Structure 1
Amino acid sequence: MSPERSPATSRLLRDKVRGFRVIWLAPLLAFVALASWALASPMGASPDDDYHLVSTWCADPGKTWACEVGTDLTQRVVPEALVKSPLCFAHHPERSAACQKDTFSLDPVPTEMTHRGNFAGQYPPVYYAAMNIVVSPNLEFSVVLMRLINAFVFVAITTALFAALPSIRRPALVWGWLASTVPLGLFLIASNNPSSWAIVGVGTSWIALLGYLESSGRRKVGLGLIFVVSVIMAAGSRGDTAVYAGFAIALVLVLRFRNVRRFWMDAILPLVMGVVAGLFVLMSRQSQFGVEGLPSTAVSDPTVASAAAQSSDSFGHIATLLFNVPSLWAGVFGYWGLGWLDTGMPAIVTFGAITVAVGAVFTGLRVMTWRKAIALGAIATLLVFIPTWVLYQGGQQVGQEVQPRYLLPLIVMFIGLAMVSANGRSPRLTRTQRILVGVTISVAQLVALYFNMRRYIHGDTPGTGWNLDQHTLWWWDIAVSPMTVLLVGSLAFSVTIWILLFRTPEIAGISAKSEETEPVRI
């Protein structure tokens, strides 16, 4: 028989329970939700994965057991799975990922020659170098581990930022991610694509800098560090997001501009990081596409309306582009397919995700100042101008080359900035509105994850049944079943949303002591 607890011990346990905050569970649950997306698709499932996986394996010239120089410097010899993993199912949604068994082996020995990789510096090297650290002879394990690391990085940096931000800035952080990541953001953040870091870096850097300019002491140091890491992530993953990071820095400096000595001293760090972002742009060959346009290929998304046919008239071409650019924004919310643009999403996903995003933006517009209006207008202008200019320069139409994932970092920033408090006023949703948001986004995530998994497990064919555990054609060699991953991941996502919307004081409108050291004015 165990001895009875003393009154002091019982009191200590009660105090610990009372001191526990449900919000502490949010990071763990968010990671579990993202981990389910990391397992939801096979090797090679994210766009251009053959290019990015090869680039990762070849990032360290010293690992000759993983990647060898080919017949010339523009080619490499790598394990054939890296090159062939998407070939049998990309652009063939009716095929499950089981076709990989007949396409390649998982032998880690380099045997396949390829020219598709970051051998000429088209992309910045930081992302590939970081992921190369966990490259191992077990190809599938390495691929999944990289996805889980990306998911962890997102959760860790967002959690640290939430803790460091002044309380009045936390709603903008939460809403920026909550209203923009279903389904494309979840898919990409937990993928092997450098767009993972691009999205996280841009979506984090702007608000970390905003908090940095408004804080002091240890909080300021922490936010400055998060800002630096975020800019390096964004600029070190893609050339276009290096431009976005520099744009975000300029935007926040305009928002917080004060012609006083403290502002100019605080501005040194962001100006230095702006230069760093600019150097990454110069290092990346992606920057030339903003001037010359992207190389023309066939239409890449069948959901885009046929009205996007080429026009020989310049004015007509531009008008057609402007009329169809919104489909790129909608693609972030499921209007375009996931993966190689071939994993279609049901209308409930797109409608639900867009409804939440639009609702958040319009709620934020209730709290407006002229500086905030200028900043939102600048981002909106970029969301129109960038795809229009690049496609016009390349002689292309919406549906060719420029994809929604290229604009997702700007959309995260736009929604977050719309929800920024201004002059002490905070945009808030009522309890009923938050219930509707939570239910809508949770259902959209569940359906999106299910259809993404079904596409690779069964193939997008009728008559396969609803149960992913039955007649499974493809799945990882793990003890956890597909339906378990779906249900546990979706439950974790839903509980995370519930915690953020109803147990976070700054979101739920619960009284909380202000932490600002000075009045926040935008």
Structure 2
Amino acid sequence: MRRLSPPAIFRRSAVSFTLVFAVLGLLTVLWSFASPLMSVPDESAHAIRAASVAQGQLLGNSSGQQSEQSVVTVPGYIADLRAQECYAHDAAAPAACAPGVDAGDTQLRQAETSAGNYNPVYYLFVGLPTLLLSGAPAIYGMRILSGLIGVAFLASALQAAGRLGKPKWPLAAGYVAITPMVLFLNASINPNALEIAAAAAFFMNTCVAFEKYRTLSDVKINIIMVAVSGAALANTRPVSLLWLALAAAAVVLAYGFRPLLPILRDRLSQAMIVLLGLSCAFSLAWLVIADSFKSLLGDPVDLAPDTAAAIMFDRTFDYVSGYVGVMGWLDTPLPAGVYMFWHLLMGAVLLTGLSARPVRGRFGVYLLVVAVLVVPPVMQAQVIQSLGWIWQGRYLLALVVMLLLACGVAFRFHSFPSSPWARGAAKWLLGGAVAAHGFAFVYTLRRYTVGIQDTVRWNEMFHPAWQPPFTWQLLTVAYFLVLLVGAVLVYRQLFAPALASGRKEHREPAVAAD
């Protein structure tokens, strides 16, 4: 009997940008519909900011006092978005209390936002749907546009990982880094999501440029993406310039200084360095002139900065769950099984990076580990007396994603297992990833359809108080189907005989020596 071969997309060994973009894009779109409007922290502030920038108001009106919100001009239905937050901070409250968005209320009026003096670049793009649509369709349009921009950078990061000489460990680390929280944020109106995706793309494309410095003409698209992703990263959140500097330093530590001279001599690289430099200069100028840190909201705490730093250092591991997923307005922790699965994977990736050889590859990992430990205490200590305790796990997620990718890059010279046992274990891990991602999705839907209550069981979801567009049932089925397709593609990528280039994996002599 003739054996049927799988469809072509499942036989591909290359890391196709189009396929990765399609899978992650579909997951992002499904999340954007599954999450009620304004269900992500500070989403209303960012939506108002995006609509005002689209109207041409690059900077909100404010006296410049700490914690004072800026006043901007937006369509009426955007100005009323805070009414959608009636269920925020209460996991037992379903989203049914949220009023409808009046698509007819397009008269311009004033609204307040805590993001009124943030860098306008992200908002300039994300606010475009408000010029073409109104009401809920405009909000979903902003979400989807923001998400697809982020997905493009995530796909670029994974494609760049596939271009390394030994790409399988970096790819595996990259897929581990795409946690439920990354997808949840990416489906919202929040520059934090673009920051995470752009940081991943900048780090991985820079790694490709450094590894392929002898043949830069073969990696022109990666060199361009270094500048594009770096420019996007620099112009997302006020702290993003620090992530950019740490990413560049980590790559240099991992690969050494030898690739720098050929890169600096390359014409395309020179042009991209100028572009990146101008983007960073604009970001820094905006940060200083607009004083973006002054818009942060919080309640002052009378505590010495060194004491606050010590407390934050003690709480380091309390924020790890935020890298995996704390949904809603930090009111919906995911089930313990989801955390256990991702903590296991993230711990394993970190262990590979810390034990990798050659030793030089670890230097970038060491830098990022220190940054993950030190940055939160230092930053929180600076604002404790003016803003109080404001730190959230998601604030560090861009750095955590880069750390996981750096571990994969450091470990890439170790053989990727391909025995029957390894393939079987990989199938179980991918099945676990599908289950963990899917469970996080359904659990978040449960929180909004019926609320998380001790007296409410799963069967109550079939009599929901709130329904997302297309119903939670259809969204859930679609989400699991896309996850399954993605898992099959990942398996084919990791266990194909030769990945991406069609050549046997090789050792890059310039970066392999201790």
TM more than 0.5? yes
- 1:326-362 alpha-carbon deviations (Å, 9 max, x no partner): 212332123xx31211122111111111111112222
- 1:344-394 alpha-carbon deviations (Å, 9 max, x no partner): 211111111111111222234442333322211111111122110121122
Using the alignment, how far apart are the partners of 1:517 and 1:485 within structure 2?
A: 44
Q: Which residue of 1 aligns with 2:444?
A: 452
Q: Which amino acid aligns with 1:140?
A: A
2:373 pairs, out of 384, 393, 397, with: 384
2:497 pairs, out of 497, 510, 518, with: 510
- Unaligned 5+ segments in structure 1 are 1-13, 299-309
After superposition, residues 242-261 of structure 1 pair within 5 angstroms as: 242-259=241-258, 261=261
Using the alignment, how far apart are the partners of 1:384 and 1:396 within structure 2?
A: 21
Q: Which residue of 2 aligns with 1:138?
A: 134
- 1:467-500 alpha-carbon deviations (Å, 9 max, x no partner): 5762222234x4x321121122123123312321
Q: Percent identity?
A: 20
Using the alignment, how far apart are the partners of 2:138 and 2:358 within structure 1?
A: 48
Contact 1:209 1:270 in 2 (8 A): no
Q: Which residue of 2 aligns with 1:96?
A: 94
Q: Which residue of 2 aligns with 1:183?
A: 180
Q: Which amino acid aligns with 1:130?
A: F
Residue 514 (structure 1) shift: 4.0
Q: More displaced, 412-421 or 276-285?
A: 276-285
Using the alignment, how far apart are the partners of 2:124 and 2:135 within structure 1?
A: 17
Q: More displaced, 214-223 or 51-60?
A: 214-223
Contact 2:319 2:392 in 1 (8 A): yes
Using the alignment, how far apart are the partners of 2:50 and 2:475 within structure 1?
A: 27
- 1:73-98 alpha-carbon deviations (Å, 9 max, x no partner): 84435424553244311112222221
Q: Which residue of 2 aligns with 1:232?
A: 231
3-state SS of 2:177 partner:
coil
2:49 pairs, out of 20, 44, 55, with: 55
3-state SS of 2:179 partner:
coil
Q: Structure 1 length as normaliser, TM-score?
A: 0.81
Using the alignment, how far apart are the partners of 1:393 and 1:80 within structure 2?
A: 37
The 1:364/1:401 distance shift into structure 2, 3 A limit, reads: same
Q: More displaced, 320-329 or 75-84?
A: 75-84
Contact 2:224 2:272 in 1 (8 A): no
1:394 and 2:383 matched: yes
Aligned length: 485
Using the alignment, how far apart are the partners of 1:74 and 1:184 within structure 2?
A: 30
- 1:261-301 alpha-carbon deviations (Å, 9 max, x no partner): 414425746754256335413412699788x9965438xxx
The 1:176/1:125 distance shift into structure 2, 3 A limit, reads: farther
Using the alignment, how far apart are the partners of 2:285 and 2:423 within structure 1?
A: 48
1:200 pairs, out of 197, 204, 219, with: 197
Q: Which amino acid aligns with 1:46?
A: V
The 1:370/1:271 distance shift into structure 2, 3 A limit, reads: farther
3-state SS of 1:113 partner:
strand
Q: More displaced, 259-268 or 353-362?
A: 259-268
Say what the alpha-carbon RMSD is for the aligned residues: 3.7
1:148 and 2:137 matched: no
1:372 pairs, out of 354, 358, 361, with: 361
Contact 1:295 1:394 in 2 (8 A): no
The 1:116/1:340 distance shift into structure 2, 3 A limit, reads: same
Using the alignment, how far apart are the partners of 1:286 and 1:339 within structure 2?
A: 33
Residue 241 (structure 1) shift: 1.7
- 1:231-288 alpha-carbon deviations (Å, 9 max, x no partner): 1221222121232123212322333334474144257467542563354134126997
1:125 and 2:123 matched: no
The 1:259/1:30 distance shift into structure 2, 3 A limit, reads: closer
Q: More displaced, 209-218 or 265-274?
A: 265-274
Contact 1:36 1:485 in 2 (8 A): yes
Q: Which residue of 1 aligns with 2:480?
A: 490
Using the alignment, how far apart are the partners of 1:316 and 1:205 within structure 2?
A: 35
- 1:376-425 alpha-carbon deviations (Å, 9 max, x no partner): 11111111221101211223799921111110011111011101156843
Using the alignment, how far apart are the partners of 1:371 and 1:382 within structure 2?
A: 18
Residue 188 (structure 1) shift: 0.6
Q: Which residue of 1 aligns with 2:66?
A: none
Using the alignment, how far apart are the partners of 2:298 and 2:61 within structure 1?
A: 29
1:213 and 2:203 matched: no
Q: Structure 2 length as normaliser, TM-score?
A: 0.82
Contact 2:171 2:408 in 1 (8 A): no
Q: Which amino acid aligns with 2:489?
A: I
Contact 2:166 2:412 in 1 (8 A): no
Residue 144 (structure 1) shift: 1.8
Using the alignment, how far apart are the partners of 1:129 and 1:293 within structure 2?
A: 19
Q: Which residue of 2 aligns with 1:9?
A: none
After superposition, residues 252-271 of structure 1 pair within 5 angstroms as: 252-259=251-258, 261-265=261-265, 268=270, 271=273
2:171 pairs, out of 161, 169, 174, with: 174
Residue 53 (structure 1) shift: 0.4
After superposition, residues 442-481 of structure 1 pair within 5 angstroms as: 442-467=434-459, 470-476=462-468, 478=469, 480-481=470-471
Using the alignment, how far apart are the partners of 1:449 and 1:206 within structure 2?
A: 28
